[in-house]
Chains A and B, each alone.
Chain A
Amino acid sequence: MTTMSNAYAVVRRACTGPGTLTRAAATVMILATVATQHHLSSFNRIQRKDLFFLIPNWRFFAPNPGVYDFHIIYRVRNDGQISGWRGIDMIANRRSLHTLWHPKRRREKAVFDIANGVALVLDKGFDVITRTPDYRLLSNFVAATVRADDINGNIEGYQFALARSAGYESTKDPEIVMVAPYTTLSQ
């Protein structure tokens, strides 16, 4: 009887009294966090409702860590001539200062996120890929880079590709992840 009474008292104390609302909110957040950690997208019923991304994702580098660098390369059509491929170097070489100050990390992470987002829909074909926010952001970024280089205003369009490399591991060749269709440069 004493054990039952004690258990009841513990439950009652957890569910009533000052701070009940805070405990309830904390409980909801903790359980929502647990419920959104599944790595397969099929189990995303709760994530889809998290408009402000308040529920954290704690699966850092797991189960499969990012083991490639992503690179954006592009070429342009200028007065009917196709240029060679050029790269946009987005990755800062590692420096000790990065421990304290590394604003370029945001841009690196953005490319990393976008590349992974595009890779997820690669098998859907370009009519789907080109409609995704990830792809459009990437394409607009390349367009802005092209425009910045277009001093004479002669560039008619561009084509970009997403490649991945094994970074410092020079024995592995880079691979093309996706070659985007030609895009006319709107003025």
Chain B
Amino acid sequence: MREYHAHSSPLVCKLIDVLSSQTGTTALHVSRVVVSTALLLPGNSRLRGVGSSYLAVTGAVAYTRHRYGTDGSDQVAVLVQSGNAVARLSDSHRVKDAAIWHTALQANLSYVVSGWYKLLGRQWRQGTALREIMRTRTYGHEGAFRVAERYPSPAKALVHSVMGLESLFPVVYCARGRLVRPILASLLIFHAANAYLMGLGRFLTAFASMHPHVAYTAGPKHPAAPDRDDTPVTAVALAAAGIAAWAGVRALRRRIYVLRGAKGTQWHTMPNGDVIAYRFDPGCETEPVLVFCNSLAATSEHFSWIATTVQSHRPCGVLRYDRAGYGASRQTDHTPRGLNAAVRELCDLVGATVNRDRHIVLVGHSLGGDIARRAASSLGNRVAGVVYLDPSHPGQLDRSERQRASSAGFADILTTMAWSTRLGLGVLMSRENWIEDLPSHTRERAFAEYADSRLWTAARREWASILDEYREFDSTLPPVRSPALLVTASKTADTDPEQVVLHNEIAEAHRTGGAHAETTVLHDTDHDSLMTNGTNATQVGALIMEFVRIHASGAKASFGKEAGD
């Protein structure tokens, strides 16, 4: 636990140290038992508020000591005791009501969130969740599992009933409190069943402890408290509206910032109306132009380290762009586009921006590698080489079990990301480590693009077409006549040996085309850190420079097949 608090204040660290000693832990729990027992005694003394405060504070503190093994019932206990402490210690009825409303609203959230979130889960939607949970020894019950297996239709009906009960819990506030007793009684039965079948006894008492707060706030004003203050709901609604508006403004500002493009961005309009944002540093005319093709759900910012490394050592030209829909590039329609469209886009951009007599070297990461390989054939002998960084192979979903498994829920993740960012939840996103690893001047833009819904929407569309194309792939790769360098991340090789075989096949496609191809595994790298980690990307940059020196330097392109042909 100390590691989770490594960056906390010395006071918090000291507290954890004290609690982690056997004496500290024992004293904490013995004192909690004593106070809890005292609270079970009858009476209405103000000391009960002190007792609740003690249980709330020590409950929260104990969480830092016992993070593993705790569950929702512990969190409910802290919430209820906090609210009760405030209500019991205050003389103001408005303070008491605010505390009670807080607990009641948390109770609403506990059921509503759990209920609606279940709709996202396949097992819940299909009604198999009961059978699949009951089959486990940890949370299940053998008898209940056998019954659910034998009678799937009633089991499915039960699952959907629970989802309905939880999702629609706020109707308890309708009908002037007449629904309070039936709904709370139903939930008590639900918790009692969970206690017996799932071994979740503590949930029964914990959640039942929130029901009086719900009953107090859902019914008509009680004769004992005729001036119940319901303004906490207004306060929450006002604040929620304010925050939603703020999140919307932030999302709009982010969108404008992303669409404006980075400094030096230029624009190329495709024949179909798409507008491609690119940055082109022509470098020295005698050197080739490196064209970077980014991966799925990634933008050209991912190449920042590699581009910087290459340019600081060789006067190569560098062309970075974002496919339509990504970054500042705009897609005119929202239909799924296949890989051929991405290839046409790349060829058209190269044809429009790079002098015809200059060689180009295509550098593609992941899916960008597959696009580069296909584009190499279309661009003909302008291509002096192709550099693959942990590339995708069209046969990977068929042949790599790991790729197949990870792709199973990927569409759902992309959809969730797209909808979440569209709803303004980008404000809740934290800067992930890979963003912090990028050069400092690119982080803000990389994060803005990452938190903007356009990236996820484009990725979802792209993924839908890729899935179809990759599933249909059942042949060998066509020969490619340009030399190739293929860099595999060591963790890709370690965790998925089939991927190494697939990478070798990509290299073999170049050899079959009569060109040189070399493969290398870069130690201590993974699929993304090849690009985003400064040290790794510098190594990749060095490999690219060496490849360019041997295969692409100082030669003019002989005219053959041109871009966009």
> Which of B67, B92, B99, B140 is A53 in contact with, Cβ under 8 Å?
B67
Tell me the bound Cα distance from A65 to B201 in angstroms: 19
Interface string of B193-221 (1 = CB under 8 A from A): 00111011110100000000000000000
Contacts of A46 on B, CB cut-off 8 Å? 428
**Contact call A44/B430, Cβ cutoff below 8 A:** yes
Q: Are A48 and B430 in contact (CB under 8 A)?
A: yes
Q: Are A30 and B118 in contact (CB under 8 A)?
A: no
Instruction: Check A43–B79 contact: CB distance below 8 A.
Output: no
The answer to whether B521 has its CB under 8 Å from any CB of chain A is no
Q: Which of A11, A52, A98, A106 contacts B60 (CB 8 A)?
A: A52
Decide if A123 touches B135 in the complex (CB within 8 Å): no
B68 CB contact (under 8 Å) in A19, A43, A113: A113
Q: A125 with B142: in contact, given A31-B243, A61-B129 (CB under 8 Å)? A: no
Shortest Cβ distance from residue B117 to the other chain A in the assembled complex, whole angstroms: 4
List chain B residues, Cβ under 8 A from A15: 235, 238
Flag if B120 contacts A19 (CB, 8 Å): no
CB closest residue in chain B, given A19:
B94
Assess whether B60 is in contact with A54, with CB atoms less than 8 Å apart.
yes
Contact of B117 among A39, A43, A70, A123 (CB under 8 A): A39
9-residue interface stretch from A78-86, A142-150, A152-160, A165-173: A165-173
Interface string of B77-99 (1 = CB under 8 A from A): 01100000010001010110111
User: Is B1 positioned at the interface, with any CB of A under 8 Å from its CB?
Assistant: yes
For residues 60 through 85 of chain A, which have their beta carbon under 8 Å from a beta carbon of chain B?
60-70
Task: Flag if A94 contacts B140 (CB, 8 Å).
Answer: yes
User: Chain B's nearest CB lies how many Å from the CB of A54?
Assistant: 6
Contact of B102 among A29, A35, A68, A105 (CB under 8 A): A29
Complex CA gap A52/B78 in Å reads 11
B1, B69, B118: the one contacting A109 at CB < 8 Å is B69
B451's nearest neighbour on chain A, judged by CB, is A42
B235 touches A58 (CB 8 A): no
Q: Which residues of A contact B229 (CB under 8 A)?
A: 19
Tell me which residues across on chain B come within 8 A of A169, comparing CB atoms.
135, 145
Q: B105, B199, B234: which has the most chain A beta carbons within 10 Å?
A: B199
- Asked whether B71 is an interface residue with its Cβ less than 8 Å from the other chain, the reply is yes
> Mask for B421-443, Cβ within 8 A of A = 1, else 0?
00001011110100000000000
The reply to whether the CB of B321 lies closer than 8 angstroms to some CB of chain A is: no
Q: Contact between A66 and B133 (Cβ–Cβ < 8 Å)?
A: yes
**Which of A19, A24, A122 has the most chain B CB atoms closer than 10 A to its own CB?**
A19
Out of B76, B86, B135, B196, name the residue touching A168 (CB < 8 Å): B135
Q: Does B512 lie at the interface of the complex (its beta carbon under 8 Å from any beta carbon of A)?
A: no
Contacts of B146 in A (CB 8 A): 168
Chain A contacts for B92, CB-based, 8 A: 18-19
Q: With A26-B99, A52-B60, A63-B124 as given contacts, are A93 and B137 in contact (CB-CB < 8 Å)?
A: yes
Whether A99 touches B136, Cβ cut-off 8 Å, given contacts A14-B235, A53-B75, A54-B78, is: no
Residue interface bits B377-389, CB-to-A below 8 A is 1, else 0: 0000000000000
Bound state CA distance, A70 and B425, in angstroms? 34
Mark each residue of chain A from 94 to 126: 1 if its CB lies under 8 Å from any CB of chain B, else 0: 101011111001111110111000000011110
A34 within 8 A of B: yes
B495 at the interface (CB under 8 A from A): yes
Q: Please, how many angstroms separate the alpha-carbon atoms of A23 and B93 in the complex?
A: 12
- Chain A residues with Cβ below 8 Å from B76 are 56
CA distance A124 to B433 in the complex (A): 13
Q: Which B residues are in CB contact (< 8 Å) with A87?
A: none
A166 CA / B134 CA spacing, docked (Å): 10
Contact B526 A125 (CB under 8 A): yes
Q: Does A27 contact B (CB under 8 A)?
A: yes
Nearest residue in B to A125 (C-beta to C-beta)? B491
Residues of chain B with a CB closer than 8 A to A179's CB: none
* Residues of chain B from 130 to 152 with CB closer than 8 A to chain A in the complex: 132-142, 145-146
Q: CB distance B132 to A124 under 8 Å? A: no
Q: Does A130 contact B (CB under 8 A)?
A: no
CA distance A125 to B526 in the complex (A): 9
- Whether the pair A52, B235 counts as a contact (CB closer than 8 A) is no
Q: Which of B2-10, B40-48, B179-187, B248-256 contacts A (4 or more CB under 8 A)?
A: B2-10
In the complex, are the beta carbons of A68 and B425 less than 8 A apart?
no
Per-residue interface assignment for chain B, residues 228 to 257, with 1 indicating a CB less than 8 Å from any chain A CB and 0 otherwise: 010110111011100100000000000000
- CB distance A69 to B199 under 8 Å? no
Given the known inter-chain contacts A22-B86, A31-B239, A53-B75, please indicate yes or no for A62 contacting B133, CB distance below 8 A. Answer: no
Q: Is the CB of B137 within 8 A of A59?
A: no
Are B239's CB and A37's CB within 8 A? no
A contact residues around B524 at 8 Å (CB): 127
Interface CB pairs A-B, < 8 A, 23: A14-B235, A19-B94, A22-B95, A22-B99, A23-B231, A39-B117, A45-B427, A52-B63, A53-B75, A61-B118, A62-B114, A65-B121, A66-B136, A92-B199, A99-B192, A99-B204, A106-B66, A109-B71, A122-B495, A123-B491, A123-B495, A123-B526, A167-B137
With A31-B243, A42-B430, A45-B430 already in contact, 17 other A-B pairs whose C-beta atoms are closer than 8 Å: A15-B238, A19-B94, A22-B99, A23-B231, A26-B105, A33-B109, A34-B109, A37-B113, A37-B117, A39-B416, A42-B432, A43-B428, A53-B70, A63-B118, A91-B137, A125-B490, A167-B137
The 10 closest A-B pairs by CB, nearest first: A19-B94, A63-B120, A63-B121, A26-B102, A110-B69, A62-B117, A106-B69, A110-B68, A14-B234, A58-B113
